[in-house]
Amino acid sequence: MGGRNIGVAVDFSSCSKAALRWASTNLARSGDQLVLIHVNNSYQNEQGAMHLWEQSGSPLIPLVEFSDPHVTKKYGLSPDKETLEILAQVAHQSGVEVFGKILYGDPTKKVCEAVDLVPLSCLVIGSRGLSTLKRALGVFARVCFVFSQILYFIATP
């Protein structure tokens, strides 16, 4: 893969869709890879393939597979239509490769780990509707910003 790896933390909420739109409009350019980071925190250890990926997460899932309900079911995921439309548009119009990466466990911890697992050039997260001060002082900020050497962007809806 060439270009930058731009990570976007998604949970399919309105805030994560705003982060995805912001990243695709303001950061992504031809040759980049847009990597959706989704953390599934409600899974069972006995669920086959998920058990294999508990530590390192799924392999990178290309957009074609990420859009296939049969494939996403295997990962315990069901992306919504609006998110898939945003992804298809950025891939088609911007020449950006789109991938998904599914991690399993505590979202704050796993999103931070994704920075090094992928590895990411930058990470965009939604604001979750919090004020500027609460976003800046949140758990994610305290954990990730201190230990990582990448740029973080917090997008508001």
Boundaries of every domain in the chain: 5-140+149-153
The parts of the chain modelled with pLDDT lower than 50 are 1, 45-46, 130-137, 139, 142-143, 145-147
Query: What's the pLDDT at 43?
Result: 60
Query: What's the pLDDT at 134?
Result: 43
Q: Dump pLDDT digits (tens) for 60-88.
A: 999 999 999 998 888 888 899 999 999 99
Query: What's the pLDDT at 157?
Result: 62
The secondary structure of the chain in percent helix, strand, coil, rounded to multiples of 5, reads 40, 20, 35
Query: What's the pLDDT at 133?
Result: 37
Smallest CA-to-CA distance from 150 within 117, 116, 107, 126 is with 116
Greatest CA separation for the chain:
41
Q: Domain 5-140+149-153: which topology?
A: Rossmann fold (3.40.50)
Query: What's the pLDDT at 41?
Result: 80
Query: What's the pLDDT at 144?
Result: 56
Smallest CA-to-CA distance from 18 within 106, 114, 152, 129 is with 129
